[in-house]
Amino acid sequence: MSTENHYIGRFAPSPSGPLHFGSLIAALGSYLQARSQQGSWLVRMEDLDPPREMPGAADDILRTLEAYGLKWDGTVMYQSQRHDAYLAQINDWLRNQEAYYCQCTRKQIKLAGGYYPGTCRELNQHATNSAVRLKVTTPVTHFYDKLHGQIEIPGPLAREDFIIHRRDGLFAYNLAVVLDDIEQGITEIVRGADLIEPTGRQISLYRLLQHPEVSYLHLPLAVTDNGSKLSKQNHAPAIDKANPKPALLQAMTFLGMNPPADLMACSLDDILKWGAQHWHVDQLPKTTAITLAF
């Protein structure tokens, strides 16, 4: 089979807790968008930040996806096993002076107005106790989203030299996500609207790497009545592995679909098949957040 023009999508959860309704939306939306185009759907575990992770959550997320009939293609990629690739790229950029060490503290940046003003760009700081920042030479000020259309990125944010390797030694999300999406051959990114903001930075990495850009679809986010994203911190309940159909149908409804009641009597495979057949981006609610009572 030719892989040219083959759609490859993905779901990339962080294992900070069990799968809840908010993450089911991202999983199901990315799955249906891929399957409706006979595409592949991959899963990547973003275990990049151990202090924020919950022991056992990665496996629990995978078991939950299985219980919901969301079968992924290939093997699961783990970011914890990709450190060599991240480091090699950072060192490459440091060597070419496309990145630099930075010693500035959060407090100093706040005092400078909230955006990093490039203080260490030409200072040749040493590596010890430093973060690594990328020199942003061609800021990305807008991009196209399949649901929201043209998205403008505020200038100061677009121009900021952003961190790719944190001072505490952890790799930055933007770096890992782009290197991994490239490694996995992802052609379109479907995820929650909370990730609209960093997308400009991610596009700037594609350009620096001279890699063809991908397309984007940011799904509405399920939020609590004070506007925050469902998460472990605000006690969003884990979705039920033993009884997946109600949450699956609710997730379809959340995504603007109209699943008939008699789907409840069908198998998970048939429910998901119905979903892929009836999935249209045009039906999605054109909003970045929907309040959910739970």
Which residue ranges make up the site for ligand GLU (CB under 6 A)? Answer: 12-14, 46, 177, 191, 195
| Complex with ligand GLU: residue 64 or 125, whichever CB lies closer | 64
Could you tell me the smallest distance in angstroms from the CB atom of residue 32 to ligand GLU?
Answer: 16
Q: Do residues 182 and 211 make contact, with C-beta atoms less than 8 angstroms apart?
A: yes
Shortest distance (Å) from residue 34 CB to ligand GLU: 14
Nearest CA to 189 out of 205, 210, 170, 168 is that of: 205
106 Cβ neighbours under 8 A, 6+ residues apart: none
Cβ nearer to ligand GLU, comparing 27 with 90: 27
Closer to ligand GLU at the Cβ: 161 or 194? 194
Q: How far is the CB of 47 from ligand GLU (least distance, A)?
A: 9
Of the pair 160, 181, the CB lying nearest ligand GLU is at 181
CA distance 28 to 32: 6
Task: Could you list the beta-strand ranges (E) of the chain.
Answer: 8-11, 40-45, 77-78, 99-102, 131-134, 142-145, 149-152, 163-165, 188-192, 215-219, 221-223, 289-291
Tell the smallest beta-carbon distance from residue 23 to ligand GLU (Å): 7
What does the block give as tokens for 160? 């900021």
CB 13 to ligand GLU: min, Å: 5
Least Å distance, CB 229 to ligand GLU, is 9
Nearer to ligand GLU, 72 or 101 (CB): 72
Q: Which of 150, 3, 172 is nearest to 82 (CA)?
A: 172
Nearer to ligand GLU, 14 or 89 (CB): 14
Measured on CA atoms in the order 10, 13, 18, 21, is the torsion positive or negative? negative
Place of tokens 């008939």: 260
